[in-house]
Each structure stands twice: as structure tokens, then as C-alpha cells.
Amino acid sequence: MNDDASEGQLQRSSLPKNARRARLRARVLARAGIFASQIGLLAVLLWLWESATAHDRQAAFLFGSPSAIFGFLVKMWRDGSLFRDTYVTGVETLLGFLLGNVIGTSIGLSLWYSQSVARVVQPFIIALGSIPIIALAPIMIIWFGTGLMSKVVMATLSVVVVALITSYKGALSVDPDKISLFRTLGATKGQIFHRLVIPSALTDIFAGLRLTVGFALIGAIIGEFMSSSEGLGHAIFKAGSLYNIPKVFAALVATIALALFLTWLVGQLERLLTPWRNVP
Amino acid sequence: MHVIGDLSLSLGQAEIVSIVGPSGCGKSTLLNVVSGIIPPDSGEIRWYGEPLAGVPARAGYMLQKDLLLPWRTAIQNVLLGLEIQGVKADAARNRAEIMLDRLGLHGFAASYPSTLSGGMRQRVALARTLVTDPEVMLLDEPFAALDFQSKLLIENDTATLVRAEKRSVLLITHDVEEAVSMSDRVIVLSQRPTRILRVYEIDIPGNRTDMMEARQSPHFTQYVRSIWNDLQSTARP
């Protein structure tokens, strides 16, 4: 009776420790190699950019240069506006991201409960999803003012439909045989929803979360473009209208850093909430 | 679509009955009707003489796919049915641990399914079915995806546990040897519209929980050959 089990143990320990360590080292080395290549590629691009604009004032004015951009980043860091603007946009994005995903995912998952309701609301959802978010910005400024609220609403709106659709798709992708299994175990619809549908949908929900980080950021920045007194979108808009191209790029660098940070945060959350997918 | 023609069968207490038939003859449909997952177009299912409405209580269900939940560890998967039935956590955990031990999975309780071999995963699925103490087990080709050795071992364990607890089993399979070695009765179905072609009462002397021993019996070969001929006679060219 224990043969299968011991076979499993055998499989587990069949790799000697040093072999496993060697494999791990190879993997770390490969990853380091990729990282080094990425840094190298970035360095080459920056060098090309810098050398092309170094002796050409017109080009330097139109395209900026890495050294000028870096100079602005240092300046913005010193006067505190770098942190301030990134913080403002970060808060708007994060609030919109959370609000949009909570609302969208709740609706998307609960649509699983009733196929007929889902069918009724489907065209409305598609219609909502097809509205270009930028077209809503002026109305949102009128309704919610020029402060934080209108940007949060813009970010929420850019997120909510995507979150709804991905989570509904996740809920629908549950293996019907697993639903049958739950039913033969005597599960109620609520138990199936809670113990099967939600965990099954997590993969799709997290795919949606990674996608909507960017969407929330776009929403917040569009909101800032329309009307604002602070934030990265405000900085980009203002610098752009003053033909200060290096400063536009400097603010863009901060925006990219913010996007990467928020994506990393979602990745950490995913690792925390889906531990079964991290097992080697 | 009319899949199943006229047929009638019954399953006695503590009896292991196998159903074999050509592929596409509606074996799985039959099992899904019996387990109440899909309602029959016509006809009737009776459990203990009572017409069946919906999913019967105290029936266990197991498929070729192990249907383990990847986000639950082995023991949490085994606990699923008990949780749904509202068994107290301590008692449930105790029962699940005993069942895992009996199926040779001691030490793997905290493993996620993705780290287990196919045979071990199917053992966890078997433990999940047995731990709810079902009176009737409905098995749809549960061991079909396993290699010969794992399959024989899990068949032995299944037969041992089922016969010791006097559970009834309805086993759908396309493996004639499995059907003969496991069962007290083998029902051979025809091509669609499905009806019963023949019924064999399997009389193999000796220990019925040892699949290798069963295979050594001369009766075994006769049954297998005869069932094989039945299947060939109904197979479509």
C-alpha cells in the first residue's frame, strides 16, 4: 500500500542536494545574464541619444538629452516636487485601482450567480467599456471638482469594466466537472461560489489586476491633464506647454517608476494570496 | 439527444458492479443520471426504493480527472466534503488524516496537488470520496489515466477499503480486466441506443482485494475473453 508513497518520496529526493544547488545556480546566473543585457541595451540607447544631441542645440531642445533629463530629476528631487507629484498621482492611481477593482470584481463574480442577469446586462457593460475614458474627463471635472476626487473617479472608470470582464470570465471558466463534484458532495450554490468559483477565478482576477495598474494610471493622468494643480500629469502638461522637453521626460521617468512599483506591488500581493502557485 | 435506450439495472448493498461498453455508448451519461447531476429525459432512478430527486445523499463521485482543487493541500482537499457537510473541524481533520494514512499518503497531507504524482493525486481524490462515508460510490473510469502499477495498487486499496466497509460501487470503465478483477457483476452495454447486452456474475475464488491474484485465476481469462467478444460484436466498424 505504501509503494506509491515511497515512490513519491523517491522522486522527491532523487535529485541530490548538490545537483539541485547547481541547477539553482545556473538559473540565477541565467537571470543575471538577462538583467545585465537589459542594462547594457539601456546604456547603449542612452549613449546614442546623448551623443546625437550633445553638439546639436536644436536637437537637444526638441528631443532633450539623458543628461538634461537627469539634471531635471535631481532638481525636482531637491525642490521636493518629484516626491510630491509622484505621491499625488500614486494616491489617485491606487485609490482608483482599488475602487475600480473592488466594484468591477464584485459585479463580475456575482454575475456568475445568475446567467439571465448576466445576459441582460451584457450589452450595457460592452457599451460602457467602449466609451473612451478621455471623453468623460470634462464631465468628471464638473461633477467632482478639480481636486483628488475627479482623478480617483477617472482612474476608477478606466479600471472597472476591465476588472468586471476579467473576473466574470474567470468565474465562467470553472471546470464544470468540479461543479458536479461539489453538487454530489451536497454543496449549496453559496458554498460552490465561495469555495470553488472565487478561488478558481483568482488567476484571471490577478491577470486583470496587472492589466489595470496601467489603466488606473492613465485615468489619473488624463484627469490631471484636464485640470489640476499637482501630480505627474500636471507636471508633464505644464512642462510640455512651456516647451521644456527634458522636464517632460523627467516626469515620464517618474511615471514609469511609479507604474513599475505598483505592478511589483500587485505581484507581491499575488504571491501572498496564491501560495499554491509558488511551489517549486 | 437520445443516448440511452431501454435499460434497467440495480445495485445491491456491498456489491461492486462494473459497466463496460464501447466508447460513446453513454456510460458516463448513465453515471451522471444516476448521480443526479443531469435529470433523465424519461425513466426513473430509485435510491433505496425511493424515486430520486436531485443529487442523492451519501453517494461519492469520482472521475478520471482527479478534480483536486490546486489551492488546497492534500488534506484540505480531503476535507472538502466534510466542510460542506458541516462536520466539526477537529473531527473532520482526524478522519481526513486517518484516510490519508490508510491510502499510503502519510506525510503528504500538507503537499499541494501540483507536487504529487498522478497516482498520489488520484489517491487523494479517493480519500476525498471515502472520507464522507458514502454508501454508494459512483466511479467513472477513475484509474484510466494511471500507469499499470499505480493502477493495480490503487485498485487493490479501493477494493480493500470498499469491501471492508460494505460500500456499494458502480464502476464505469473501458478496461475489461479492471472490470472483471474488481467486480461482483459486470454489465456489458451495447452501442447506441444503449441497452444491456449481457450481464456476468463474476465468480473468482480467493481474495477479491488482490487484483494480481484475480488475474491468475483461469476464470478471469474466460470472463475477459467472453466480454471482449461481446464488445467486438457491438463495436462499429
From chain B, pick out residues whose CB is under 8 angstroms from the CB of A10.
none
Interface test with chain A among B71, B76, B129, by most A beta carbons within 10 Å: B71
Phi, psi of B97 (to 5 degrees): -65, -45
Q: What is the mean pLDDT of residues A200-229?
A: 92
Cα R_g (chain A), whole angstroms: 25
* Distance separating alpha carbons of residues A180 and B38, to the nearest angstrom: 9
Phi, psi of B67 (to 5 degrees): 55, 30
Can you say whether the dihedral through the CA atoms of B49, B54, B58, B63 is positive or negative?
A: positive
SS3 at position A82: helix
For Cα atoms A173, A177, A179, give the angle at the middle one, nearest 5 degrees: 75
Q: What is the mean pLDDT of residues B195-215?
A: 84
Closest by CA position to B128, among listed B73, B189, B165, B175: B73
- Structural domains of chain B in order of their starting residue, each with its CATH number: 16-35+72-234 (3.40.50.300)
Report the residue of chain B nearest A201, measured CA to CA.
B71
Q: What integer pLDDT is reported at residue A11 of this predicted model?
A: 46
Query: Amino acid identity of A18?
Result: N
Instruction: Judge whether A154 and A140 are in contact, CB under 8 Å.
Output: yes
Of 1.10.3720.10, 3.30.70.2740, 1.20.1300.10, 3.40.50.150, which CATH number belongs to A61-277?
Answer: 1.10.3720.10
Please identify among residues 202-221 of chain B the ones whose CB lies closer than 8 Å to any CB of chain A: none
Task: Give the containing element (helix H, strand E) for A134.
Answer: helix A133-144
Instruction: Judge whether A105 and A163 are in contact, CB under 8 Å.
Output: yes
Q: What integer pLDDT is reported at residue A7 of this predicted model?
A: 43
Closest by CA position to A254, among listed A241, A240, A269, A235: A235
User: Is B61 in Cβ contact with A4 (below 8 Å)?
Assistant: no
Band of the pLDDT at A16, cuts 50, 70, 90?
low
* Distance separating alpha carbons of residues A80 and A101, to the nearest angstrom: 31
User: Is A3 in Cβ contact with B69 (below 8 Å)?
Assistant: no
* Distance separating alpha carbons of residues B237 and B235, to the nearest angstrom: 6
> Is residue A149 pLDDT above 60, yes or no?
yes
SS3 at position B194: strand
Interface test with chain A among B69, B123, B136, by most A beta carbons within 10 Å: B69
Contacts of B77 (CB under 8 A, 6+ apart): B68, B69, B113, B124, B125, B128
* Residue in B57, B59, B84 closest to A191 by CB: B84
Q: Where are the beta strands (DSSP E) in chain B?
A: 16-20, 46-47, 50-51, 59-63, 136-140, 168-172, 185-189, 196-201
Q: What is the mean pLDDT of chain A?
A: 89
Band of the pLDDT at A269, cuts 50, 70, 90?
very high
Distance from CA of B126 to the nearest CA of A (A): 13
Question: A–B: how many Cβ contacts below 8 A?
Answer: 90
SS3 at position B172: strand
Query: Amino acid identity of A147?
Result: G
Where b means 16+ CB within 10 Å and e means fewer, B65-96 reads bbbbbebbbbbbbbbbbbebeebeeeebbebb
Please identify among residues 159-218 of chain A the ones whose CB lies closer than 8 Å to any CB of chain B: 175, 177-178, 180-187, 191, 195-196, 199, 202
Q: What is the mean pLDDT of chain B?
A: 86
* Domain range summary for chain A, segments of one domain joined by +: 3-54, 61-277
Closest by CA position to A185, among listed B64, B135, B82, B100: B82
Q: What is the mean pLDDT of residues A261-275?
A: 91
From chain B, pick out residues whose CB is under 8 angstroms from the CB of A186.
55, 57, 81, 84-85
Q: What is the mean pLDDT of residues A216-226?
A: 93
User: Is B117 in Cβ contact with A8 (below 8 Å)?
Assistant: yes
Instruction: Judge whether A151 and A220 are in contact, CB under 8 Å.
Output: yes
Q: What are B8-67's pLDDT values in tens digits?
A: 777 888 889 999 888 777 777 888 888 777 777 777 777 777 777 777 777 888 888 899
State the burial class of residue B116 (Cβ atoms within 10 Å of its Cβ: 0-12, 13-18, 19+): buried
Instruction: Judge whether B89 and B63 are in contact, CB under 8 Å.
Output: no
> Is residue B77 pLDDT above 90, yes or no?
yes
Q: Is B123 on the interface with A (CB under 8 A)?
A: yes
Closest by CA position to B177, among listed B233, B222, B142, B224: B224
From chain B, pick out residues whose CB is under 8 angstroms from the CB of A176.
none
From chain A, pick out residues whose CB is under 8 angstroms from the CB of B123.
4
Q: Is A272 on the interface with B (CB under 8 A)?
A: no
The strands making up B185-189's β-sheet, listed across from edge to edge, are B59-63, B136-140, B168-172, B16-20, B185-189, B196-201
* Distance separating alpha carbons of residues A18 and A23, to the nearest angstrom: 9
Q: Is A135 on the interface with B (CB under 8 A)?
A: no
Identify the weakest region by mean pLDDT among A26-30, A183-187, B40-44, B227-231.
B40-44
Q: What are B90-120's pLDDT values in tens digits?
A: 999 999 999 999 898 988 999 999 999 988 9
Q: What percent of chain A has pLDDT over 90?
A: 67
Band of the pLDDT at A260, cuts 50, 70, 90?
very high
Could you tell me which residues are beta bridge partners of residue B61? Answer: B138
* Distance separating alpha carbons of residues B66 and B121, to the nearest angstrom: 7
Report the residue of chain A nearest B109, measured CA to CA.
A5
User: Is A175 in Cβ contact with B67 (below 8 Å)?
Assistant: yes
User: Is A181 in Cβ contact with B67 (below 8 Å)?
Assistant: yes
* Distance separating alpha carbons of residues A8 and A13, to the nearest angstrom: 9
* Residue in B37, B138, B157 closest to A183 by CB: B37
Q: Residue with C-alpha cell 462494473? A: B18
Q: Is B145 on the interface with A (CB under 8 A)?
A: no
SS3 at position B60: strand
Q: What is the mean pLDDT of residues A30-56?
A: 92
B131 C-beta neighbours (distance < 10 Å), count: 23
